[in-house]
Protein backbone atom coordinates (compact mmCIF):
# COMPACT_ATOMS: atom_id res chain seq x y z
CA UNK A 1 0.00 0.00 0.00
CA UNK A 2 1.34 3.38 -1.02
CA UNK A 3 0.75 6.41 1.15
CA UNK A 4 1.14 10.02 0.12
CA UNK A 5 2.68 12.37 2.62
CA UNK A 6 0.98 15.75 2.40
CA UNK A 7 2.68 19.06 2.86
CA UNK A 8 1.62 20.70 6.10
CA UNK A 9 1.68 24.17 4.55
CA UNK A 10 4.72 25.39 6.44
CA UNK A 11 6.89 25.34 3.36
CA UNK A 12 7.99 22.90 0.80
CA UNK A 13 10.33 20.20 1.75
CA UNK A 14 12.30 18.86 -1.24
CA UNK A 15 12.64 15.45 0.41
CA UNK A 16 8.87 15.16 0.72
CA UNK A 17 8.38 16.21 -2.92
CA UNK A 18 10.74 13.45 -4.09
CA UNK A 19 8.99 10.93 -1.84
CA UNK A 20 5.57 11.99 -3.16
CA UNK A 21 6.73 11.65 -6.77
CA UNK A 22 8.10 8.17 -6.10
CA UNK A 23 4.91 7.12 -4.41
CA UNK A 24 2.83 8.48 -7.29
CA UNK A 25 4.91 6.47 -9.79
CA UNK A 26 4.44 3.37 -7.59
CA UNK A 27 0.65 3.86 -7.61
CA UNK A 28 0.55 4.30 -11.39
CA UNK A 29 2.62 1.14 -11.97
CA UNK A 30 0.42 -0.90 -9.64
CA UNK A 31 -2.72 0.45 -11.31
CA UNK A 32 -1.56 -0.52 -14.83
CA UNK A 33 -0.31 -3.91 -13.67
CA UNK A 34 -3.73 -4.63 -12.17
CA UNK A 35 -5.44 -3.52 -15.43
CA UNK A 36 -3.27 -5.84 -17.56
CA UNK A 37 -4.05 -8.82 -15.33
CA UNK A 38 -7.80 -8.21 -15.67
CA UNK A 39 -7.61 -8.00 -19.47
CA UNK A 40 -5.74 -11.32 -19.66
CA UNK A 41 -8.42 -13.05 -17.65
CA UNK A 42 -6.08 -13.67 -14.71
CA UNK A 43 -4.28 -16.37 -16.69
CA UNK A 44 -0.65 -16.96 -15.91
CA UNK A 45 1.78 -15.79 -18.57
CA UNK A 46 2.58 -18.89 -20.68
CA UNK A 47 4.46 -19.10 -23.92
CA UNK A 48 2.56 -20.61 -26.88
CA UNK A 49 0.70 -19.84 -30.08
CA UNK A 50 -2.35 -17.65 -30.27
CA UNK A 51 -5.49 -18.76 -32.05
CA UNK A 52 -4.80 -16.36 -34.92
CA UNK A 53 -1.29 -17.77 -35.43
CA UNK A 54 -2.64 -21.32 -35.48
CA UNK A 55 -5.38 -20.38 -37.97
CA UNK A 56 -2.86 -18.71 -40.30
CA UNK A 57 -0.58 -21.77 -40.12
CA UNK A 58 -3.51 -24.10 -40.93
CA UNK A 59 -4.53 -21.86 -43.85
CA UNK A 60 -1.00 -21.89 -45.31
CA UNK A 61 -0.76 -25.66 -44.82
CA UNK A 62 -4.12 -26.14 -46.58
CA UNK A 63 -2.94 -24.06 -49.55
CA UNK A 64 0.27 -26.11 -49.83
CA UNK A 65 -1.59 -29.44 -49.63
CA UNK A 66 -4.25 -28.32 -52.13
CA UNK A 67 -1.67 -27.13 -54.64
CA UNK A 68 0.24 -30.40 -54.18
CA UNK A 69 -2.85 -32.43 -55.04
CA UNK A 70 -3.55 -30.19 -58.05
CA UNK A 71 0.00 -30.78 -59.33
CA UNK A 72 -0.38 -34.52 -58.75
CA UNK A 73 -3.65 -34.60 -60.72
CA UNK A 74 -2.10 -32.62 -63.57
CA UNK A 75 0.92 -34.93 -63.63
CA UNK A 76 -1.28 -38.03 -63.68
CA UNK A 77 -3.25 -36.50 -66.56
CA UNK A 78 -0.03 -35.94 -68.51
CA UNK A 79 1.06 -39.53 -67.93
CA UNK A 80 -2.35 -40.80 -69.06
CA UNK A 81 -2.21 -38.58 -72.15
CA UNK A 82 1.26 -39.92 -73.05
CA UNK A 83 0.07 -43.49 -72.57
CA UNK A 84 -2.87 -42.91 -74.94
CA UNK A 85 -0.65 -41.32 -77.59
CA UNK A 86 1.77 -44.24 -77.39
CA UNK A 87 -0.99 -46.85 -77.69
CA UNK A 88 -2.59 -45.01 -80.61
CA UNK A 89 0.80 -44.85 -82.34
CA UNK A 90 1.30 -48.59 -81.83
CA UNK A 91 -2.12 -49.41 -83.27
CA UNK A 92 -1.65 -47.15 -86.30
CA UNK A 93 1.90 -48.36 -86.94
CA UNK A 94 0.61 -51.93 -86.95
CA UNK A 95 -2.12 -51.01 -89.45
CA UNK A 96 0.34 -49.17 -91.70
CA UNK A 97 2.70 -52.16 -91.68
CA UNK A 98 -0.23 -54.42 -92.57
CA UNK A 99 -1.10 -52.14 -95.51
CA UNK A 100 2.52 -51.93 -96.69
CA UNK A 101 2.79 -55.70 -96.76
CA UNK A 102 -0.23 -56.02 -99.10
CA UNK A 103 0.34 -56.59 -102.81
CA UNK A 104 -0.62 -53.61 -105.00
CA UNK A 105 -3.65 -55.41 -106.47
CA UNK A 106 -5.18 -56.05 -103.03
CA UNK A 107 -4.32 -52.57 -101.76
CA UNK A 108 -5.71 -50.93 -104.90
CA UNK A 109 -9.01 -52.79 -104.37
CA UNK A 110 -9.47 -51.30 -100.85
CA UNK A 111 -12.35 -48.90 -100.39
CA UNK A 112 -11.26 -45.26 -100.81
CA UNK A 113 -13.99 -43.93 -98.50
CA UNK A 114 -13.44 -43.51 -94.78
CA UNK A 115 -13.47 -46.99 -93.25
CA UNK A 116 -13.38 -48.06 -89.62
CA UNK A 117 -10.43 -50.39 -89.13
CA UNK A 118 -10.90 -53.67 -87.28
CA UNK A 119 -8.10 -53.92 -84.75
CA UNK A 120 -5.86 -56.98 -84.65
CA UNK A 121 -6.46 -59.59 -81.97
CA UNK A 122 -3.17 -58.51 -80.36
CA UNK A 123 -4.79 -55.21 -79.46
CA UNK A 124 -8.34 -56.34 -78.68
CA UNK A 125 -7.19 -58.93 -76.11
CA UNK A 126 -6.09 -56.06 -73.91
CA UNK A 127 -9.17 -54.16 -72.75
CA UNK A 128 -7.17 -50.91 -72.56
CA UNK A 129 -6.92 -50.87 -76.34
CA UNK A 130 -10.68 -51.26 -76.80
CA UNK A 131 -11.09 -47.53 -76.12
CA UNK A 132 -9.56 -46.61 -79.49
CA UNK A 133 -11.33 -46.19 -82.79
CA UNK A 134 -9.19 -46.13 -85.92
CA UNK A 135 -10.47 -44.88 -89.27
CA UNK A 136 -8.65 -45.27 -92.57
CA UNK A 137 -9.04 -43.01 -95.59
CA UNK A 138 -7.33 -43.81 -98.91
CA UNK A 139 -7.18 -41.10 -101.57
CA UNK A 140 -5.64 -41.11 -105.02
CA UNK A 141 -2.36 -39.24 -105.39
CA UNK A 142 -0.12 -38.50 -108.38
CA UNK A 143 0.65 -41.39 -110.73
CA UNK A 144 0.39 -44.89 -109.30
CA UNK A 145 0.44 -43.57 -105.75
CA UNK A 146 -2.21 -43.41 -103.05
CA UNK A 147 -2.26 -41.48 -99.80
CA UNK A 148 -3.25 -43.45 -96.71
CA UNK A 149 -4.45 -41.52 -93.68
CA UNK A 150 -5.15 -43.20 -90.35
CA UNK A 151 -6.92 -41.35 -87.55
CA UNK A 152 -7.09 -42.86 -84.06
CA UNK A 153 -9.53 -41.30 -81.59
CA UNK A 154 -10.08 -41.89 -77.88
CA UNK A 155 -11.55 -40.16 -74.85
CA UNK A 156 -9.10 -38.95 -72.22
CA UNK A 157 -9.49 -38.94 -68.44
CA UNK A 158 -11.24 -35.54 -68.54
CA UNK A 159 -13.83 -36.72 -71.08
CA UNK A 160 -12.29 -34.85 -74.03
CA UNK A 161 -11.99 -36.58 -77.39
CA UNK A 162 -8.39 -36.73 -78.59
CA UNK A 163 -6.97 -37.95 -81.87
CA UNK A 164 -3.70 -38.80 -83.55
CA UNK A 165 -3.11 -38.91 -87.30
CA UNK A 166 -0.66 -40.93 -89.42
CA UNK A 167 -0.23 -40.24 -93.12
CA UNK A 168 1.79 -42.32 -95.57
CA UNK A 169 1.97 -42.87 -99.32
CA UNK A 170 1.80 -46.26 -101.04
CA UNK A 171 3.17 -46.47 -104.57
CA UNK A 172 3.00 -49.31 -107.07
CA UNK A 173 6.51 -50.67 -107.46
CA UNK A 174 7.60 -48.66 -104.42
CA UNK A 175 9.43 -49.49 -101.22
CA UNK A 176 7.89 -52.92 -100.58
CA UNK A 177 7.66 -54.07 -104.18
CA UNK A 178 9.79 -57.14 -103.46
CA UNK A 179 6.94 -58.65 -101.37
CA UNK A 180 4.70 -58.95 -104.43
Q: pLDDT for 138-152, tens place per residue?
A: 998 888 888 999 999
- Give the DSSP H or E segment for 39: helix 14-39
pLDDT reading at 91 higher than 80? yes
pLDDT reading at 105 higher than 70? yes
pLDDT reading at 86 higher than 90? yes
Q: State the average pLDDT over residues 8-15.
A: 55
pTM score, two decimals?
Answer: 0.60
Q: State the average pLDDT over residues 36-48.
A: 61
Give the residue, 60 or 16, on which the prediction is more confident: 60
Pairing of strands 145-155, 161-171: antiparallel
Task: Assess contact for 93 and 101: CB atoms under 8 A.
Answer: no
Amino acid sequence: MCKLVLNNGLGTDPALDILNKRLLICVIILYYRNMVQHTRGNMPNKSGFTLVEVMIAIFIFAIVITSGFACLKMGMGMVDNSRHHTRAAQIMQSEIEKIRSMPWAIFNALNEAETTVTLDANFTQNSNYAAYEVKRTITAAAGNSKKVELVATWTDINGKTKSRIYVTHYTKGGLYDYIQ
